[in-house]
Amino acid sequence: MKDLLGRGEAVSVEKALSLILEQPLPAPPTERTGIENACGRVLSADVVSPEDLPGFRRSTMDGYAVHSEDTFGASEGMPAYLALAGEVLMGERPGFRLERGEAAVIPTGGMLPEGADAVVMYEHTNTAGDGMIEVMRAVAPNENVILRGEDVRKGAVVLRSGRRLRPQDVGALAGLGILDVEVFRRPVVAVVSTGDEVVPPQRRGLSPGEVRDINSYNLAGLVMRCGGMPLRKGIIPDDLDRLRAAVNECIREAQMVLISGGSSVGTRDYTAKVIDELGPPGVLFHGVSIKPGKPLIGGLGEGIPLFGLPGHPAAVSVCFETFIGPVLRRLAGEKPDGLPPYRTVKAFFGRNLASPAGREDHVRVAIEQRDDGVWARPVLGKSGLIRTLVEADGIVVVPPHKNGLYEGESVEVRLFNDSPC
């Protein structure tokens, strides 16, 4: 099947994304995982509370459990006097019932004794001798108390399917006594580098003309940060048959395939051809109005999303953040939350920069703290330079409707992900 849009016609960033995302993607398989390993995983089923939480009426303060009525009208000038009837111990059911006119010492988190319906904070009491206390402030019924089931009711949905679990979500699961959950498996993403000139970084004594494989290392890290499991499939020379064989192996082992390299015309053709042969639909777009990243190929073969990325490392990073990340998150079962996926920082743009209308430019920038504020200095240089990759802190996007940016113009920088895991 032919490219839907005709070869070489670049589509907009939005169009390219929607061409992929509107395709039916397979539902990710699921598995159970213990909560110790659940942080960062995506729930594949709603989590329902197995019980009322808390299971008992609990004090939220250090103080005295009381009958609230006994305190009505109490003030510093006219305290209420209550008889000390006992002490609630943490983690234990009180062994007594609180009668009218009585108070019991209770710690934060302690269980209210029967009869009591509120807690007076220590700070609003005095000891009065003879086993009596003074209460200098009235409390309302249920004041400083969490009722049984007030936090979570038995049967209530606590966390919804499609949620990526954060540390506190795992804490909540522990609090409910839920020890394992059903999650989507992390999608396996096959990564192939192509090019006769590309050699593995292990190779000693490079010949002139050879370059080491950068992209599969960059892509492996990007995939991991997006919740996928990278599967590096090595380097394939510019040969149609060998590329076809490699990609066919990939789609049996992975839920997504990334083919990087092929920055020369011939290789790009091979990648498009191989993706197209796997259709329908095959190639969905070939060429996007973005810089860097224009030669990007996106398609779907046997239900598996495939991308052909340009060989320049900077283009790889931009294409991943813009196109591959959103598809991978979908494949991971994540429900979009509409929140910005990047850390950002406001800055003044460092120089005048032209950008043709109709193209979305992703300008690498380094952040500089100057006396007059935060500046985003464009890291220029021929694409493909390693130096521009490591110098940049993030990206400034020049939208297609703009003709460029002015020096001193206020911009938002999308910072690169430098998370520790």
Contact 266, 238 (CB under 8 A): yes
The tokens describing 185, both together, are 């498996």
Chain residues 218-277 in contact with a copy of itself, contact rule CB under 8 A: 218-222, 224-227, 238, 263-266
Query: Given the complex with a copy of itself, which of 277 and 412 has the nearer CB atom?
Result: 412
Nearer of residues 21 and 386 to a copy of itself, judged by Cβ: 386
Which of 17, 120, 214, 236: binder of a copy of itself (CB under 8 A)? 214
For 367, residues 6+ apart whose C-beta sits below 8 A from its C-beta are: 345, 347, 374, 375, 376, 377, 393, 394, 413, 415
Minimum distance from residue 302 beta carbon to a copy of itself (Å): 26
- The residue whose two tokens read 């920088």 is 413
Cβ burial 304-313 (10 Å sphere, 16+ → b, else e): bbbbbbbbbb
Helix-strand-coil percent breakdown of the chain, rounded to 5?
20, 35, 45
DSSP-derived pairing of the beta strands 63-66 and 118-121 = antiparallel
Among 317, 319, 363, 365, interactor with a copy of itself by CB under 8 A = 317
Tokens of 212: 């080491």
Tell me the CA distances in angstroms from 267 to 5, 192, 250, 383, one per residue in order.
20, 13, 18, 18
| Site membership for a copy of itself, residue 55 (CB under 8 A) | yes
User: Binding residue for a copy of itself (CB under 8 A) from 326, 384, 400, 404?
Assistant: 384
Q: How far apart are CA 68 and CA 72, in angstroms?
A: 7
- 372 touching a copy of itself, by CB under 8 A: no
Using the minimum distance from each CB to a copy of itself, give the nearer residue, 262 or 279.
Answer: 262
User: Does 81 contact a copy of itself by CB under 8 A?
Assistant: no
- Binding a copy of itself (rule: CB under 8 A), the pick from 43, 74, 181, 195 is 195
42-to-31, 158, 186, 361 alpha-carbon distances in Å: 11, 14, 9, 32
Residue 17 binds a copy of itself, judged by CB under 8 A: no
Q: Which of 24, 130, 252, 369 is the binder for a copy of itself (CB under 8 A)?
A: 369
- Site residues for a copy of itself, window 333-362 (CB under 8 A)? 337-345
Q: Say if residue 54 is preceded by a cis peptide, omega within 30 of 0.
A: yes
Closer Cβ to a copy of itself, 219 or 259, answer by number:
219
Question: In what order do the strands lie in the sheet containing 132-135?
Answer: 118-121, 63-66, 102-106, 80-87, 132-135, 125-129
Window of 7-15, 24-32, 217-225, 300-308 that interacts with a copy of itself by CB under 8 A: 217-225
Q: Phi first, then psi: give them for residue 385, nearest 5 degrees.
A: -80, 135
Q: Output 381 or 404, the one with its CB closest to a copy of itself.
A: 381
300: contact with a copy of itself by CB under 8 A: no
Over the window 92 to 121, marking each residue x when it contacts a copy of itself by CB under 8 A and - when it does not, the resulting string is xx-------------xxxxx----------
**Whole-angstrom Cα distance, residue 125 to residue 65?**
12
Q: Is 1 in the site for a copy of itself (CB under 8 A)?
A: no
| 206 is an interface residue for a copy of itself by CB under 8 A | yes
CB under 8 A: which stretch of 19-27, 90-98, 244-252, 296-304 binds a copy of itself? 90-98
In this complex, which beta carbon is closest to a copy of itself, that of residue 116 or of residue 165? 165
